[in-house]
């Protein structure tokens, strides 16, 4: 049977996002959520996670303040301060990991807001910290590099994952369907795809039309039936072997 983690990003961003994620978990197929430690809804998200122990929790590493952003597309551009020592970013990464672990929640995976952890200049340091703090799973997908670094050989990224014995799913769905921030290498929800383990990234929430639409899909009986028909079992990262 194929195994799918349905992971909600941005847990802790705000109360409306938190409420949408919890509804998508309680009434729908969301099995896991990635926690933002430096946003206004963090404390509420922690309490909600503790009240819903079947919801797997990871860290959603947020380094937006170091970057210029392409708003709308939600894409990181260059660094705001090109002279900033990389050690400062590594220090911030470690601080966010420590803050997540200090909640007492079992932190089972790490990923990045706007996939920041996958950037080639950051990945090795982030992976090393993931291992240091015994977080077993990291989000990795080849399509990120195919879209942003099409002329570069990025196989060394996967080699780091394997060398550090980090776990990652063998397929990643970057959402239900392409959006403005889509890149050429991204794959989208396809229950018929061939995989043993996969992650589907979703963004349910309240108060914003696009997040409400994501929530509606997460609690849709039709989506649930499509997964069942395709022989897909949904679970959290903690349940993946």
Strands 107-112, 137-138: pairing kind: parallel
Residue pair 23/72 in contact by the 8 Å Cβ criterion: no
Q: Check residue 72 and give its pLDDT.
A: 67
Sign of the torsion angle spanned by Cα atoms 62, 126, 166, 76: positive
CA angle 69, 70, 76 (to 5 degrees): 50
Domain boundaries, the chain: 2-239
The predicted model scores a pTM of: 0.96
Of the CATH numbers 3.40.50.300, 3.20.20.370, 3.40.50.11030, 1.10.443.10, which one belongs to the domain with range 2-239?
3.20.20.370
- Residue with tokens 């409400």, as numbered in its chain: 212
Strands 67-70, 75-79: pairing kind: antiparallel
Q: Which residues contact 172 (CB under 8 A, 6 or more apart)?
A: 139, 140, 141, 143, 187, 198, 199, 201
- Other residues' Cβ atoms within 10 Å of the Cβ of residue 26: 12
Return averaged pLDDT per consecutive 10 residues of the chain, 241 residues in all: 97 98 98 98 98 98 94 82 95 98 98 96 98 98 91 94 96 92 89 96 97 98 97 93 66
Q: Check residue 192 and give its pLDDT.
A: 95
Q: Check residue 241 and give its pLDDT.
A: 66
Fill in the DSSP letter of residue 14: -
Spatial distance between the Cα atoms of 232 and 59, rounded to a whole number of angstroms? 25
Spatial distance between the Cα atoms of 106 and 124, rounded to a whole number of angstroms? 23
- Residue with tokens 């989000």, as numbered in its chain: 139
Q: What is the full DSSP assignment across 166-218?
A: -B--SEEE-SSS--TT--TT-----TTS--SEEEEEE---SSSHHHHHHHHHH
What is Dmax (Cα atoms) for the chain? 53
Strands 56-61, 32-35: pairing kind: parallel
| Region class of 57: left (phi > 0), else alpha (psi between -120 and 50), else beta | beta
| Token couple for 23 | 């509804």
- Other residues' Cβ atoms within 10 Å of the Cβ of residue 211: 21
**Which residues on neighbouring strands pair with residue 6, listed in sequence order?**
200
């Amino acid at each position: 049977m194929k195994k799918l983690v349905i992971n909600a990003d941005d847990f802790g961003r705000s109360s409306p996002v938190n409420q949408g994620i919890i509804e998508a978990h309680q009434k729908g197929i969301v099995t896991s959520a990635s926690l933002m430690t430096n946003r206004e809804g963090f404390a509420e998200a922690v309490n909600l996670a503790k009240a819903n122990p079947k919801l797997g929790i990871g860290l959603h590493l947020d380094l937006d303040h170091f970057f210029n952003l392409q708003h709308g597309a939600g894409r990181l551009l260059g660094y705001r301060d090109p002279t900033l020592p990389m050690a400062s970013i590594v220090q911030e990464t470690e601080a966010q990991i420590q803050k997540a672990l200090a909640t007492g929640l079992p932190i089972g995976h790490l990923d990045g807001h706007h996939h920041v952890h996958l950037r080639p200049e950051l990945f090795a340091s982030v992976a090393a910290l993931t291992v240091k703090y015994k977080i077993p799973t990291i989000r990795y997908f080849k399509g990120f590099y195919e879209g942003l670094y099409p002329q570069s050989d990025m196989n060394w990224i996967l080699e780091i994952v394997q060398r550090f014995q980090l776990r990652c799913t063998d397929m990643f769905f970057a959402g239900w369907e392409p959006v403005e921030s889509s890149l050429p290498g991204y794959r989208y929800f396809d229950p018929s795809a061939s995989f043993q383990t996969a992650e589907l990234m979703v963004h349910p929430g309240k108060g914003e039309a696009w997040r409400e639409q994501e929530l509606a899909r997460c609690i849709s009986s039709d989506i649930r039936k499509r997964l069942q028909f395709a022989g897909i079992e949904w679970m959290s990262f903690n349940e993946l072997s």
